Amino acid sequence: MLGKAAGRKIFHRLATIEDAKEILSKSASNEIGMETVRLEDAGGRVLAESVFSGVDLPPFDRAEMDGFAVVSEDLEGASERKPVRLKVSGSIGAGEPVHREIRRGECAEIATGAPVPRGADSVVMVEYTGRAGEYVKIFRGTTPGENVASAGSDIQVGEMILRGGTVLGTREIGILAAAGKRNVRVGRKPRVGIISTGDELVDVGERLSFGKIYDVNSSSLRAAVEEAGGEALYLGRTKDDYENVKKIIAEGIERCDILIISGGTSAGTGDLVYRVLEEACKPGILVHGLQVKPGKPTIIAADKGKPIFGLPGYPVSALIIFDQIVRPYLERLGRRPPSARGVLRGRLAERVNGARGRRWFLPVHVIRREERNSVYPVLSSSGAIGTLAKADGYIVVGEDVEFLDSGKEVVVNLFLDQVTSADLTVMGSHCPGLDLLLELLFRREGIRSKTANIGSLGGLGAVARGEADIAGIHLLDEESLKYNEPYVIKAGLPKGSFVKGYRRLQGIMVKKGTPKRVRNLKDVLLGDTILVNRNRGSGTRILTDHILKAVARERGLDLAELVKGIKGYRWEAKTHSAVAAAVHQGRADAGVGVKSVARAYGLGFIPIGYEEYDFVVNPESRNKDGVKAFLRYLRSEDFKGLLGRLPGYTV
């Protein structure tokens, strides 16, 4: 499965998920024992053995209603017109000693839960009685056993009340308490050691210097372990040093049942984890490389019968592989039943190409409508934890699938038991101003919004298909030089669907104090100036190309000829922040974006002009409370005040 070439590991044969699970089950321990815990500490734990009751429930015949304990024969023929008159011999409260025997012609006042006295065989509800001194009139009869819970009618002595393997929730804790079980035997929680590797990592909350990233995996994997019923133990972070990695793995094996190491698992010469696991552990590496996307460079190893999972450093890869391989093993070790998350069916909103021989776990958005579920692929890198957090689940694209066409029915594996309900579905181009508006709606009206940032054209199409309530768009029509409205008309939507939003200032981002004097887009044609462009289909890209086309005409060229002389023109960034980061970090000299982002990065800004960020409303959603509130707050003074705080924004 492994090979060496010039100091670098090569993945000769990739294991499938099924292969990896089988190898793991044969090579690592599947038993960690039991422990006894107090009942109050047993919530969420798993019963290690079946529990049998040592008492009857209820332990005595007891009244189920407030009323009077009676002999049913005394009440034969009782009615509103002909009530039966009985003498009250006393009263019985819950928990009181046994009352004297009830004789014919007598009754006893009784409270719910109180023991039924000898001689009585039923309880008449107080609503059907009328007290008069030492006597009571009863206006209806009873049958033997009526309103009486007999001893053992719920649970009998010796009956199994909970089967081994049951997860103890509120109901289960209640029945154990009712049966008098002060302590219970449960499966011991698997102790899972978590190690992060990488010179590039810093603790969450520290200041990020260039080239550094936050240690995301140590926090997210701890949460995943706890969710799967394990006890997470963070063992620390180690730099890319062989002896450090070896030492922390050895310590982890002694203290834990399972080790999870994130980072350092791929085939680069700087990745040391596989070397340590291969040379210092017995039997060492079991699997190195999975036939999946994301998560190919996964390692599974073992030492002293304990499994070691080497997960990729990218957060999405790490969490997907945890869910597919580590979670099932952890649940089995902790005697927990396998997780059964929700699934639903839907139709793809756009075509998806396969992953060339690898099984692809592709995150998706699910847009729920009465007639169908629309599934939008979330195409991003395996390091995009923010994308994963916003997705509803994932679909599995088989390793032998060349492509899945638009409209294809797919099964979505949900991250939660069901898709989170929303009052408002907003798709299209992302904008900080829109975020402020949706947050205002939630704080003031409690309206929950579901968003999918799929670009202006994608959002427009989603509204036209009835999949979104509202889309945010900023598209310049080059023929009319108008923003947005011409696109709404071309999409076949009524004019009433178009709603004016606000404006935001676009311009050229440049680094302050740099020797290159970029004053306009013409200057990107000079010398070795590097441009970072926006992605095709975005409003900013349309604006950039529109300006460059004018320059091309001045020079007697077409756009394709002109851009051959622009370094970086084909470099497409998907967000304004990506453009700003490239300029800020010196990878590019200029890029077009909005002023607010340039300000956030401390960049120079050369204004080009205002673009219009508008909204398209689904005609079928106009009467929804969420849409009405959205449109109302869009025009509110509160929103205008918030928007005014963003540099370059105006209504």
Is the pLDDT reported for residue 556 higher than 70? yes
Can you point out the beta strands (E) in 24-127? 34-38, 51-52, 62-63, 67-70, 84-92, 106-110, 122-125
8 pLDDT band (50/70/90 cuts)? very low
Angle at 28 between CA 23 and CA 29, to 5 degrees: 140
- Six token digits for residue 500: 């004016």
Q: For the chain, where do the domains classified as CATH 3.40.190.10 start and end? A: 504-612
What's residue 268's pLDDT? 46
CA dihedral 573, 578, 580, 582 (to 10 degrees): -80
Q: For the chain, where do the domains classified as CATH 2.170.190.11 start and end? A: 62-149
3-state secondary structure of 436: helix
What's residue 5's pLDDT? 36
Chain-centre distance for alpha carbon 364: 12
Identify the CATH number of the domain defined by range 343-414.
Answer: 2.40.340.10
Which residue from 251, 237, 242, 304 is spatially nearest to 276, judged by alpha carbons?
Answer: 242
Q: Which fold has domain 2-32+195-333?
A: Molybdenum Cofactor Biosythetic Enzyme; Chain A (3.40.980)
Was domain 34-57+154-187 assigned CATH 3.90.105.10? Answer: yes
Which residue from 539, 503, 508 is spatially nearest to 523, judged by alpha carbons?
Answer: 508
62-149 CATH pick, 3.30.930.10, 2.170.190.11, 3.40.50.850, 2.30.130.10: 2.170.190.11
60 pLDDT band (50/70/90 cuts)? very high
What's residue 473's pLDDT? 94
What's residue 516's pLDDT? 66
Was domain 504-612 assigned CATH 3.40.190.10? Answer: yes
Q: For the chain, where do the domains classified as CATH 2.40.340.10 start and end? A: 343-414
Can you point out the beta strands (E) in 578-650? 590-594, 604-617, 649-650
What's residue 210's pLDDT? 82
pLDDT 10s digits, 412-426: 998 877 676 789 999
Question: Considering only 23-27, 235-239, 513-517, 608-612, which range has the smallest mean pLDDT?
Answer: 513-517
pLDDT 10s digits, 315-345: 888 899 999 999 999 999 988 888 877 888 9
The two beta strands, 51-52 and 160-162, are antiparallel
Which phi-psi region, left, alpha or beta, contains residue 113 (left: φ > 0; alpha: ψ -120 to 50)?
A: left
Instruction: Kindly tell me the sign of the dihedral angle through the C-alpha atoms of 9, 13, 15, 19.
Output: negative
149 contacts 56 by C-beta, under 8 angstroms? no
Q: What is the mean pLDDT of the chain?
A: 89
Is the pLDDT reported for residue 442 higher than 80? yes
Is the pLDDT reported for residue 504 higher than 50? yes
10 pLDDT band (50/70/90 cuts)? very low
pLDDT 10s digits, 254-272: 999 999 998 865 544 346 7
> Percentage of the chain with pLDDT > 90?
63
- What value does the mean pLDDT take over residues 293-308? 92
Q: 267, exposed or middle or buried, with CB in 10 Å at 0-12, 13-18, 19+?
A: middle
In degrees and rounded to multiples of 5, residue 359 shows phi and psi of -75, 125
What's residue 1's pLDDT? 37
More confident call, 537 vs 589: 589
Q: For the chain, where do the domains classified as CATH 3.90.105.10 start and end? A: 34-57+154-187
- Six token digits for residue 651: 């209504």
Distance between CA atoms of residues 427 and 367, nearest Å: 10
> Percentage of the chain with pLDDT > 70?
94
Which residue matches tokens 């012609």?
105
pLDDT 10s digits, 474-489: 998 888 889 999 999 9
- What value does the mean pLDDT take over residues 292-315? 91
